[in-house]
Amino acid sequence: MTSELPKPDDEAAAGHDATIGAPSTPGTATSTDTPPPGGPTGPGDRPGEEATTGTRVRRIILEWVVLIAAALAIAFLIKTFLFQAFYIPSGSMEPTLMIGDRVLVNKLSYDFHDVHRGDIIVFTAPPDARSDGIDDLVKRVIGLPGETVTARSNGGIDDVYINGRRLEEPYLPAGTSTTMTSVPPDCGQPPGGTPGCVVPPGRLLVLGDNRGDSKDGRFFGTITESSIVGRVFIKIWPLSHLGFM
């Protein structure tokens, strides 16, 4: 009876099988513990995150561009069609409007009603009244179309008369005298050759409240209603002068 010894090839094969099936050595990483190429991942390394951040930044920039454009468009529309601010550079409307005052003009007022006597308006300056780059003037409406405006002495003070009736002007300081020594340009001659103005149709006679120091309708004549920019309705600066007109 004989016993068979394993052949060298069988031993090699057995050893090879044992090596394949042997457990991994403690402390040696297996294939499941191997980190991916490039090192461990973090929040900033996730695929597509850079693209997402870039998209978000572009969206924010676009939103700001749209908001700014909308704000500018609204401001343009308001200035063009609704309200406009003006700075008072001279004392021709004192004491009602002082040098440095800022006012708001309503451009829609006369789309809804006629011009009223006593309104303070901003209008495009006639060519003869423009100076120092000033293209707009602010004055008070005194004579309406078809009216006869004259000045007469009343107790040593010259007052304004409309169609022969004295005009009450409570906005003027006491003792203010309004002189009219000729017929202004574009005016008709009052009856009897009296100095003053017969206001033509579609035109207005405007005067400054500072009658002794105002280059107004007595100098440049009447203005067209179409030249009106708007009606002054509020003083906005300085705050100590804030108030409706």
Instruction: For tokens 């991942």, name the residue.
Output: 41
- Give the distance, in angstroms, between the CA of residue 196 and the centroid of all CA atoms in the same chain: 40
List the chain domain ranges: 83-244
Over residues 84-139, the pLDDT tens digits come to 999 999 999 999 999 999 999 999 999 999 999 999 999 999 988 888 778 999 99
**Is pLDDT of 58 > 60?**
yes
In this structure, CATH architecture of domain 83-244: Ribbon (2.10)
Report, as residue numbers or ranges, the catalytic residues: 92, 139
Instruction: For tokens 């010259």, name the residue.
Output: 158
Residues 149, 56: Cα–Cα separation, whole Å? 69
* Class of residue 141 by CB neighbours under 10 A (exposed 0-12, middle 13-18, buried 19+): buried
**Is pLDDT of 231 > 80?**
yes
Average pLDDT over residues 136-147: 98
Report yes or no: 222 and 197 within 8 Å, Cβ to Cβ.
yes
> What is residue 49's predicted lDDT score, i.e. its pLDDT?
66
The full DSSP string for 71-126 is HHHHHHHIIIIIEEEEE--SSTTTTTS-TT-EEEEESSHHHHS---TT-EEEEEPP
